[in-house]
Each structure stands twice: as C-alpha cells, then as structure tokens.
Structure 1
Amino acid sequence: MNMVAPRSSLRIRLLAGTLVWITASIIVAGWGLRSLFQQHVEAQFHAELKTHLDQLTAQLTLDSRGHASLALPLSDPRLSRPYSGCYWQIDQTHDGMPPETGVLRSRSLWDHVLATPPDTPADGEIHQHRIIGPEGKMLGMVERSVRIDDTPDGKSRSFRLIAAADESLMTEPVSRFSGALWLALGVLGGGLVIAALVQVFIGLAPLRKLHTALGKVQSGEMQHLDGDFPAEIMPLVDQFNAVLVQNAEVVERARTQAGNLAHALKTPLSVLSNAALAPDARDSALSRLVIDQVGTARRQLDYHLARAQAAATALIPGTRTPLSPIIDGLVRTMRHIHADRQLALTVMPVSPSLAFRGEPQDLQEMLGNLLDNACKWAAHQVEISARCEGGNLRILIDDDGTGLAAEQREAVIQRGVRADEQVPGSGLGLAIVDDLARLYGGRVELADSPLGGLRAVLILPVAQ
C-alpha cells in the first residue's frame, strides 16, 4: 500500500482546512457567547443589588428617638432567610467619628456584620465593591450614603446603605451555561465534521471514479476513458481521450513506416541474394560473401523491426491480449512445422482470464521464438503452462532435450549467440524475446526443466 504524504493528498488538505476552520469558529463562538452571557448575568446581578439598595433607601426612616428603622420590609424573601446569599446593612456615620456598623441588618445576616471598605461614598453616589461575607464567601456589594437633616431631635444624621449578594449567584449560572454551551458547540462541531467528511467523500468521488477508469485503460479493459463525469472534470477526460487517440495514430504510422522500410529493404536484398545464387556466380568467393552478408542483413532487419514495433506499442494503455488463444494457435503451428519429429506438445490448463498487457503480435513473437527453440532442442516432449504470480504473468515452456549448463544460459540470450551451430537458426530468437519482454517491463529466465531439458520462463505484465 502506497503511503500518501499529507501535503500531496487533496482529501487530507481539504479535511485539514475544514477542521481548522470549524475548530477556530467554534472556539471563537464559544468564547464570545460565554462572554456575552457573563456580561448579561453580571449586569443583572448588580441591577438586582441596586434595586435592593433603592428599596432600602426608600424604606429608611427615623423613629422619635432618631434611630434608623425601615418603614416596610424589603420584598425579596431571601433577605429574611439566614445565610441565603442576599443581604443588606445600614451603618451610621458621624462627622470625625468612626462609623457605627451594623445599626440595622437583614435577618439573612443573622449574627454577622459586613466589614465595609473604609472609604465612604459621597451623598447620592453608588460604589461597588467585593467583600468577604458570612461563611467566608465572596460577596458583590453596592453602597450609597444618605444624609437626613429633618430629624425629630433636630440633628442631621448620615447613613451608609449596603446591599450585597453571594457572587456564586452570578458565577454558578455562568458555569452551568458554559457547560451546556460547550456541549452544544461540541455536538455542532461533530455534526460539521461529519458533514465535511461526507462532502469531501462525495466531492472527490468523481476523482476516484476517474482513477478506476484509468486503471481499466491501463489494464486493457477499456480503450479510452468512459463514464459520466462532472463538468469540471470532463475537459480533462476529453483531452486524455484525445491524447490516447493521437498516440494510437502515431503508433500505427510508426508500424506502417517500419513495415514499408522492411519491404523496401527486403526487395533489394532478395535481388542481391538471387544474383549471388545464379549458376555463373554461385561458386565464386564474391557470391559466398554476398550470400553471407545478405543473410546477416536480413537477420538484423528482422531483429530491429520487431524491436521497433514493440517499442512503439509497449507503453500504450488499453492493450490487452488473452493468453489462451495465442498459445493454442502457436501450438497448432509448431505441430505442423515439426510434424516430422513426432513431438508431443502438451498445453497445461490455462485460465481464460489470463491476459497479457500488450499487443498480440508481440506476444506471438516472444512465445513463437521460445516454442520454436524448445521444439528444436526437445527429444520427444514440450510442455507449456501459465499462471499469474506476484502480479506478473509467468509462462513456462519445458522440453526434454539436453538442456544448457548454467554458465551458458546468459550467453545464449545475447544477440547472435547460438548454443549449437549445427542446429538451424540465426541466434536472434532469444535476444528478440528478451528485448521485447524488457520493453514491457518483463524478462526471460532460463532454468532446469522437470522434464530433463531446459525451462524457459517468460515473465510479462498481466492485464487485470
């Protein structure tokens, strides 16, 4: 399995960008909503304290002895429940004297007196502070100074009115809201991530379809890209198909030109050969030289023509040649050519699905040479088998001949080298096979045969 670097994967880049944006958006949204809610709760908290302070100011009165009292109790029932978290207190201030704290207190303070800051606000001003209250809890507090001049005893008095509440009444709702908010945003983020995954999967589906189609073209199942693709991809598909058509035309022209060249050269060579074989020139040294060189030229021409045709077609996508019909045709031909030797040519069962990723004429050229060599060297039997192994097509041709020594096997594949000069041949067969196989990314291997002779193994790319 090929490992794809994150930077080169379009899927990973799209998902990474989407996930970063979703994460950043959720964090910013969560922080912003929490801040807004916290500001709202703090505003409500201090507004409620100011309401208590206004009620306290409105109900403050003096009795006949000049002592502070409330005309009516405040409306919030929490002020009557001990340590409920809501409190009020009235301190009396004296000019030049320390303030008298806790002159009046809410029942909720019970036996506790609020320790207020030393600075006293001016008349009518409202100050906000944080102080420690009952049970060591932090309180938020607002205070106001009130001066009463019209008193029963004719003396003016100043009072410090305080309303306070436990800050947990403010922080706990914010904490609960934050938990619910992050849970909701987490669910929303998860949904967005799933949506992004689905979107990327669906959005890139045409590319996967295109990849599958390209694989079929390469394996020979299709000659061109076919399918219904989105408008953004269709220009690429059309241009790729146009390149395939153009490439096929170039290959066909190359084949035609190679054939024309071969025909043009073979005719003069035949004229030279016929002239050298004329009765009046047959026994001369020049005649023998001409015949020898004409034979060499023909062998070279056949070799390079086969190689050029294979080189033109080896890398063309979409070529696929079933193996079984080619083997059956060649075996029938070899039985006819070597009929006088009474050879037993056995073809082991070949799967109908096995196919060569290449041109039929190239497969015929390679198998034909190997089969012909096997028939020339076999004593009585030649066996052909084929299988798919390791993603390659392996065609095995065994004979029961004399075989070859290990040190000779590399040499006979070289162009022009023959294992036995007494056996007819040019010495180019195995070289052509090896060159053609390598052009397709394959090779030829020689080994000992279970039949006692030589085994030729032709390894070629398999068409899926």
Structure 2
Amino acid sequence: MNWFPWRHSLRWRLLGATLAGLVLALLLAGVWLSGLFRTHVLHQFEATLTQQLEQLTAQLDIDATGQPVIDARALSDPRWQKPYSGLYWQLDRVSADGQTRVGALRSRSLWDSSLALQADALADGALHTHEGRGPQGELLLIRERTVGLGEPAGARWRLMVAADTRDTLLAVAEFRGILTASLLVLGTLLVLAALAQVAVGLAPLRALQRALGRVREGQEARLQGRFPAEVQPLIDDFNGVLDRNAEVVARARTQAGNLAHAIKTPLAVLGQAAAQSLRQPQSDHQLAGLVQEQVDTARRQVDWHLARSRAAAAHRLPGQRTAVAPVATGLVRVMQRVHAARSIDMDTTNLPEALAFAGETQDLQDMLGNLIDNACKWALSAVRVSASGAAGVLNVWVEDDGPGIDDTARATALARGTRLDESVPGSGLGLAIVDELAHLYGGKLRLGTSALGGLRAELSLPAPQA
C-alpha cells in the first residue's frame, strides 16, 4: 500500500504545500490579530481608568480638620453612585510607619465593601496597575497612585480607581469568535481557490495526456493542440522524436523493399529460364524442375520475411489507421477477376464504413488478401466477408462453403509451408503469414466452421479508439 501518494503526484504536492502554507498563515494571522485586539482594548480600558483617576485626584482636597474630602457630585460618571455598578474608587491612608488605613473614603458603588490590595510602595504621583477582586468577586483592573497632602506634613494617600473587566473580556472573546469564523470562511475560499488554481495549472497536462492517447490509439501521428509556453518545448521535442522514428521506420521499410526487389529480379530470371527449359523437349527436365522448385521456395521466403519485417517495423507505430471496408471491397474485386471462371458469389454487405484497423494498409491487405484468396480456392460457390468492432478490437470474418478443415488439422494449417491438399495451387504460407502478422499487432487468427458449411477464418486485430 502506498501511504504517501503525494510523493508521486504533482497535484498532491501542490495542494499539500498550498494547504500547509494556508493553515500556517491563517493560524499566525488569527493569533496575531486576536492578541493585537486584546492589547488594544485593554490599553483603551486602562487609558479610561487613568482619566477617571485624574478626575478623582483633581477632586481630592483636605478640610479644616485635616481630613480628605472628595465631592462625589463633581464626578461625571453616574456609575460611581450605583451600588456594585462595576466602577469603584477608594482612598486609603498610608501612615508614616507604613500602615494603611483601608477605605478612608470610597465610592457609593462599593456600598459597605472595600477594595483589599496588597502593600505597594509607590513614589508620589507614580501610577501602578493591578488586578484584583471586586465586592462580588468579579475581576477588576485597578489603577492607583500615591499623593502627599495635608497635615501632618508628608501625609500620604493611596488613591485608586477600579473597573470590572468582564464586558471588555467578553468583547475580546466575541471578537475571537468572529475572527475564527471569518478565518475559517477565508480559509475555505482560499482552499477552493487553490483547488481551482491547481486544476487550471494542470489542465495542460491533462490535454497532453489526451493528445498522447490519440497518438497511441492511431488517431493522430503527432501531438496536436495549443499548450502553454512552459510545456511547448516538451511537445516540440516529442514530435521531433516521432518524426525521426517515422523516418527510421520508413528508411528500414524502403531498404527491406529494395532488398526484396533485388532478390526477386534474379529469381524471376531463373524462373523464366527454368520454365523455358521445361518446354524444350531436349532439355534436362529434372534440373529445370529442381530450379523452378527452388526459385518458388526462395520467392515464398522473400514474401514471408518481407511481410514480417514490414509488420514488425510498423507494429504500434503511432498514427496508424486503415479503413477496413475499402481494403476488403478492393480485394474482393481483384479476387472476382482472378476466379472469374468459377462464378463465386462474394458477399461484402456487412462491412461498416466506420471500422478501421490500427496498422499499415499493406499489412491489412496482406492478411485479408491471403484469407480471401484461400476462401476462393476452396469455395464451391460462395464467399462471405464481414466485420464488426467494439472496445478497441476489430473482428473480420472470411467464410466459404467449401469442405472446411477438421478440428485436428486446424493447428497444422497455420504452420509455415503446410499444404493440406497438394491438388490446390499455393505455397502453404498464406494462413501462416496471416497468423504471424496478426500476432505482431497483438491480434489472433482463429479457424472454425462457417454457417455456409466451410471454413470460417476469424481475424482479431487492434482498432483505433473512438
């Protein structure tokens, strides 16, 4: 099992890197924005307390008896007067020995409670911030300062302002919730954008895959289509390889053909000389017959190897496509002329025009030509050629109403040079050539019994994909 498919997938690599970057960026953005908002809100909260403390300090005074007084009516915020409102002030006296008198004065909002703070050494006028608990246990932010005022000289007072942080912290929590939801929505949109980006970015590769499929199935000889500038050099190089491969194959086929023609010419001369010698009464008929026999054998071998080399060179060559119906009907017309004296009825009505063979035209002609010629040699009065195709496979049937071949002899009939009946002219290579060519293309030749009563040759070959 492949536990890491992304290692071999460009799509998963791009998506994985993008998603990892998005998650990290959104987490950092969420933490930073949340912290920034909390700091800003608490800073504003503290600044408001400082303003309240400044106002309270301005109202602090000493009466005729030396006691501190604060005119509560001069304070602007009505929460000072409302019990347990969440906004409190308190004045403590700090004696010379450091003892503190808690709650010398306090706001009405504290009612009968006091703010208990830890001892804190403050310079006059210096501001300190603490956290503490209010009269109902709520969390308070406390802002305080120490001032020297009144008699005896140097008397010091600890003045503090406190406010409930619950609403502020709730606002921070609500902001975090909204921020989290917003980042999730943003992350989802970015993920969709990343998916779209990867899909659009890899679309040329899918187009390249389809183009390669068309070349592999023989629909086109070269990669066709418009591709991005980053991919086009690869397309050009691949098409160059296909062109060079086609040139090499064409050169090899030309050389094989030239060699075959070069050998056939002297063979033809020898054959003619042997035939003339046989017609002369005083010639050595035995020698001429031997020469004729060997010439025929050499010619059959040339035909055999020429067809085999041509098929091997063209096997799975990209861009190969040959229509079946024109080849079959052309061969039937030729065979009608060759066997015109026998008046054989040849049926080609079941040959769909759309059927095609994924290979060379000449190879298809060799295979069908041998099968049709063999059927005409053995047929009594009828030969039928039909074809069908499905799922990339082409099936062609050639049937006759002749004597057929027994089951035990069918395998032997496909062997090279085997002739089941010497009375019928032929080389014994026809069916063997067809079988060999079919195998080179990944196909197969099967022999069976025809509905006409004779032999049925079924040829299975590759067909171009639709």
Q: TM-score, normalised by structure 2?
A: 0.87
- Name the residue aligned to 1:54: 54
Which deviates more from structure 2 when the two are superposed, residues 273-282 or residues 57-66?
273-282
Call closer, same or farther: CA 1:423–1:177 in 2, change over 3 Å. same
In the alignment, which of 193, 209, 217 is matched to residue 191 of structure 2?
A: 193
- Name the residue aligned to 1:39: 39
**Deviation (angstroms), 1:169:** 3.3
Call closer, same or farther: CA 1:288–1:130 in 2, change over 3 Å. same
**Deviation (angstroms), 1:265:** 0.8
Call closer, same or farther: CA 1:424–1:144 in 2, change over 3 Å. same
**Deviation (angstroms), 1:361:** 0.9
CA distance in structure 2 between the aligned counterparts of 1:122 and 1:70, rounded to whole angstroms:
22
- 1:171 and 2:169 equivalent? yes
**Deviation (angstroms), 1:83:** 3.2
**Deviation (angstroms), 1:92:** 2.7
- Name the residue aligned to 2:271: 273
Which deviates more from structure 2 when the two are superposed, residues 127-136 or residues 309-318?
127-136
Pairing 1:125-204 to 2, within 5 Å after superposition: 125-148=126-149, 150-151=150-151, 154=152, 157-204=155-202
- Name the residue aligned to 1:308: 309
CA distance in structure 1 between the aligned counterparts of 2:324 and 2:355, rounded to whole angstroms:
6
**Deviation (angstroms), 1:106:** 2.5
CA distance in structure 2 between the aligned counterparts of 1:8 and 1:164, rounded to whole angstroms:
63
**Deviation (angstroms), 1:421:** 4.1
**Deviation (angstroms), 1:321:** 1.2
Query: 1:302 is matched by which residue type in structure 2?
Result: D
**Deviation (angstroms), 1:251:** 2.5
Call closer, same or farther: CA 1:218–1:113 in 2, change over 3 Å. same
Query: 1:409 is matched by which residue type in structure 2?
Result: R
- Name the residue aligned to 1:462: 463
CA distance in structure 1 between the aligned counterparts of 2:59 and 2:283, rounded to whole angstroms:
148
Pairing 1:96-115 to 2, within 5 Å after superposition: 96=97, 99-115=100-116
Call closer, same or farther: CA 1:6–1:334 in 2, change over 3 Å. farther
In the alignment, which of 255, 259, 265 is matched to residue 257 of structure 2?
A: 259
Query: 1:27 is matched by which residue type in structure 2?
Result: L
CA deviations on 1:177-227 (whole Å, 9 max, x unpaired) are 223323333333333334333433333343333333333344444343344
**Deviation (angstroms), 1:309:** 1.2
- Name the residue aligned to 2:341: 340
- Local SS of the residue matching 2:227: coil
**Deviation (angstroms), 1:411:** 3.4
CA distance in structure 2 between the aligned counterparts of 1:451 and 1:113, rounded to whole angstroms:
118
- Name the residue aligned to 2:395: 394
Pairing 1:63-142 to 2, within 5 Å after superposition: 63-72=63-72, 73-96=74-97, 99-142=100-143
Call closer, same or farther: CA 1:409–1:37 in 2, change over 3 Å. farther
CA distance in structure 2 between the aligned counterparts of 1:242 and 1:131, rounded to whole angstroms:
82
**Deviation (angstroms), 1:36:** 1.7
Call closer, same or farther: CA 1:349–1:276 in 2, change over 3 Å. closer
Q: TM-score, normalised by structure 1?
A: 0.87
CA distance in structure 1 between the aligned counterparts of 2:83 and 2:342, rounded to whole angstroms:
122
CA deviations on 1:250-296 (whole Å, 9 max, x unpaired) are 22222221111111111222333344442455433x54443333222
Q: How high is the sequence identity, in percent, across the aligned residues?
A: 51
In the alignment, which of 279, 282, 285 is matched to residue 283 of structure 1?
A: 285
RMSD, matched Cα: 2.9
In the alignment, which of 223, 246, 249 is matched to residue 244 of structure 2?
A: 246
CA contact (8 A) 1:141 1:164 kept: yes
CA contact (8 A) 2:351 2:385 kept: no
CA deviations on 1:12-47 (whole Å, 9 max, x unpaired) are 433333333233222222222222222222222222
CA distance in structure 2 between the aligned counterparts of 1:95 and 1:7, rounded to whole angstroms:
76
- Local SS of the residue matching 1:270: helix
CA contact (8 A) 1:218 1:319 kept: no
Query: 1:34 is matched by which residue type in structure 2?
Result: S
Call closer, same or farther: CA 1:122–1:324 in 2, change over 3 Å. same
Q: Provide the aligned length of Structure 1 versus Structure 2.
A: 457
**Deviation (angstroms), 1:156:** 5.4
CA distance in structure 2 between the aligned counterparts of 1:111 and 1:452, rounded to whole angstroms:
122
CA distance in structure 2 between the aligned counterparts of 1:107 and 1:379, rounded to whole angstroms:
128
Q: Could you list the runs of 4 or more consecutive aligned residues of structure 1 that deviate by over 6 angstroms after TM superposition?
A: none
Which deviates more from structure 2 when the two are superposed, residues 404-413 or residues 453-462?
404-413
**Deviation (angstroms), 1:302:** 0.5
Call closer, same or farther: CA 1:139–1:400 in 2, change over 3 Å. farther
- Local SS of the residue matching 1:352: coil
CA contact (8 A) 1:276 1:282 kept: no
- Name the residue aligned to 2:373: 372
Query: 2:254 is matched by which residue type in structure 1?
Result: T
Query: 2:57 is matched by which residue type in structure 1?
Result: T
Call closer, same or farther: CA 1:61–1:448 in 2, change over 3 Å. farther
* Structure 1 unaligned residues grouped into runs of 5+: none
* Structure 2 unaligned residues grouped into runs of 5+: none
CA distance in structure 1 between the aligned counterparts of 2:441 and 2:97, rounded to whole angstroms:
110
CA distance in structure 2 between the aligned counterparts of 1:87 and 1:458, rounded to whole angstroms:
102
- 1:25 and 2:25 equivalent? yes
- Name the residue aligned to 1:16: 16
**Deviation (angstroms), 1:105:** 2.6
Query: 1:202 is matched by which residue type in structure 2?
Result: V
CA distance in structure 2 between the aligned counterparts of 1:406 and 1:296, rounded to whole angstroms:
28
**Deviation (angstroms), 1:123:** 4.1
- Local SS of the residue matching 1:103: strand
Query: 1:283 is matched by which residue type in structure 2?
Result: H
**Deviation (angstroms), 1:301:** 1.0
